Amino acid sequence: CRFSQMLHPIFEEASNVIKEEYPDKNQVVFARVDCDQHSDIAQRYRISKYPTLKLFRNGMMMKREYRGQRSVTAIADYIRQQKSNPIREVQDLEEINSLDRSRRNIVGYFEQKDSDNYRTFERVANILHDDCVFLSAFGAVSKAERFSGDNVIYKPPGENAPDMVYLGSLTNFDLIYAWTQDKCVPLVREITFENGEELTEEGLPFLILFHMKDDLGSLEKFQQEVARQLISEKGTINFLHADCDKFRHPLLHIQKTPADCPVIAIDSFKHMYVFPDFSDLSVPGKLKQFVLDLHSGKLHREFHHGPDPTDVAPGQPIQDLASSPPESSFQKLAPSEHRYTLLREKDEL
């Protein structure tokens, strides 16, 4: 891979720069993998383009890969940024009252910084600092909030949104990480041109609400129904919403325009399927069945052969559509064995 060969000396020089700043080998480790020789590693971490730069913290791969400039300075600056403290220390509890409530805030109140509770909180913040704002208070400053010991609170977006208190063990990393991730990463995320590739790399099909930017009512309704009907499907499909104006091209794939919004569709990275009628969104089980029909293959099958026999009224003929569903909008971004070729061409340009 020509681009891997070009990056190799830059990557090595960046590692030497960082080694001088962080001589302790436990601070930062640079590593490289030959994916021809170690295809099992490439497969495990869904590496499908070359070269790819991934960041690991505490043995856990971060979902955002490095996408900055491929220069010694840029890579070294990225590492320095990752080494900065992701937690802002609060000097007065009045600071909590002036938080930006459009963001997701996690606040930890601890008796002392040198404690197992805080070290676990720090590990979580290092991983999720791109998704939440992390703050901490210690000793006398935090005393008023520690009436039953060290405490971690989630302050969701919205001026009047009630706080949520973490009730598990503060030294159990898995528990507090799962709780914090649930609060910091919304169930329904916005897809943009900036994060589209990152979302496809998660390898899950998309259930997307296309809505006008100012149509918050449709978005709220979609969020409510996803939470009500599809919480059990979390981990099998990504729930997303997109601006109709910005994503006109995907809408064209399903013969829609912004004038048709709101529109719900599934992108399987192979084909796109349209939810028949947005007004049916709140019909119990309707949205869930749409997703289940994707998993069972029914959506694809019906595009080719019409409704399944069990869905046709007695005496009604089964229509053979002999057609294919619209092509995926995100197919070129989705992980595949040929994806690195597409990105090589992009890099060359």
φ and ψ at residue 326, rounded to 5 degrees: -55, 150
Residues 6 or more apart whose CB falls under 8 angstroms from that of 336 comprise 48
Architecture of domain 189-334: 3-Layer(aba) Sandwich (3.40)
**Do residues 211 and 261 touch, judged by C-beta distance below 8 A?**
yes
Please check whether residue 273 is in contact with residue 289, taking contact to mean a CB–CB distance below 8 angstroms: no
The pLDDT assigned to 309 comes to 61
Q: What is the per-residue pLDDT for 317?
A: 47
Sign of dihedral through CA atoms 340, 341, 342, 343? Answer: positive
Closest residue by Cα to residue 59 from 205, 195, 231, 174 = 174
Alpha-carbon span 281 to 67, nearest angstrom? 37
Residues in the chain predicted with pLDDT less than 50, given as ranges, are 312, 316-322, 337-349
- 196-253: pLDDT as tens digits: 888 887 788 999 999 999 999 999 999 999 999 998 898 889 999 999 999 999 899 8
Q: Please give the CATH number for the structural domain made up of 87-184.
A: 3.40.30.10
pLDDT of residue 348: 38
SS3 for the chain, per residue?
CHHHHHHHHHHHHHHHHHHHHCCCCCCCCCCCCCCCCCHHHHHHCCCCCCCCCCCEECCEECCCCCCCCCCHHHHHHHHHHHHCCCEEECCCCHHHHCCCCCCCEEEEEECCCCCHHHHHHHHHHHHHCCCCEEEEEEHHHHHHHCECECEEEEECCCCCCCCEECCCCCCCHHHHHHHHHHHHCCCEEECCCCCHHHHHCCCCCEEEEEECCCCHHHHHHHHHHHHHHCHHHECCEEEEEEECCCCHHHHHHCCCCHHHCCEEEEECCCEEEECCCHHHCCCCCHHHHHHHHHHHCHHHHHHHHCCCHHHCCCCCCCCCCCCCCCECCCCCCCCCCCHHHHHHHHHHC
Query: How many Å from the N-terminal Cα to the C-terminal Cα in the chain?
Result: 16
**What fold does the segment set 2-83 form as a domain?**
Glutaredoxin (3.40.30)
CATH 3.40.30.10 domain span(s) along the chain: 2-83, 87-184, 189-334
- The overall pTM is greater than 0.85: no
How far is it, in rounded angstroms, from Cα 32 to Cα 11? 9
